[in-house]
Amino acid sequence: MKTFTYSLLILFVLGLAFALPDAARASGYDTYTKPTDPDVINAQKAIKDKNWDTAMELLTKAVARDPKNADIHNLMGFTERSRGNLDAAFKHYEQALTLNPRHRGAHEYMGEAYLMAGNLPKAEEHLARLDKLCFFPCAEYSDLKAAVAKYKQQHPQ
């Protein structure tokens, strides 16, 4: 009987381990889906090549077709931030977070934009939000945490 109980416990734990990623996606924790829109795919290539104008043209077309896509708004924010247009970047990050308040990428990028604007407290707010969103350590939290640490080192108070 004891062996049977342990076997059931092991099966339950394994089942939970496999179910957690699906549950996380369903709850909004998996905040990025692989794009199928050709304009978004081509925009990602343009972003990789730092061709910001082309990326923004493609993303503008994509968001016109899918205005409630938080991932597209996040990419638009990243592109605008990379072009040095922080006001437009903040608008897109805010839209992404309005559509999906758990969007880890938008929290990371918005935090980094706040650091560019010299607003450490707002960046730290997004870091704290990521700390709550990332049940296990996630890249978005780690990246923003490193950016905040670097900012603090370069701007001692």
Q: Across residues 63-89, what is the average pLDDT?
A: 97
Query: With 50 as the cut, is the pLDDT of residue 19 above it?
Result: no
Domain boundaries, the chain: 1-30, 33-154
Domain 33-154 CATH class label = mainly alpha
Average pLDDT of the chain, as a whole number: 85
Q: Residue 82 contacts by C-beta under 8 Å, 6 or more apart in sequence?
A: 47, 50, 52
Query: With 80 as the cut, is the pLDDT of residue 10 above it?
Result: no
What percentage of the chain has pLDDT greater than the value 90? 74
Residues in the chain: 157
Contact 70, 106 (CB under 8 A): yes
Q: What is the pLDDT of residues 20-42, one digit of tens each?
A: 443 333 333 344 567 789 999 99
Contact 126, 132 (CB under 8 A): no
104-to-9, 29, 58 alpha-carbon distances in Å = 33, 8, 23
pTM, entire model: 0.78
Q: What is the pLDDT of residue 8?
A: 47
pLDDT band at residue 3 using 50, 70 and 90 as cut-offs:
low
Determine the residue type at 52: W
49-to-52, 143, 153 alpha-carbon distances in Å = 8, 21, 30
Query: With 80 as the cut, is the pLDDT of residue 147 above it?
Result: yes
Per the structure block, which two tokens stand in for 57?
A: 């043209």
What percentage of the chain has pLDDT greater than the value 70? 79
Q: What is the pLDDT of residues 84-137, one digit of tens each?
A: 999 999 999 999 999 999 999 999 999 999 999 999 999 999 999 999 999 888
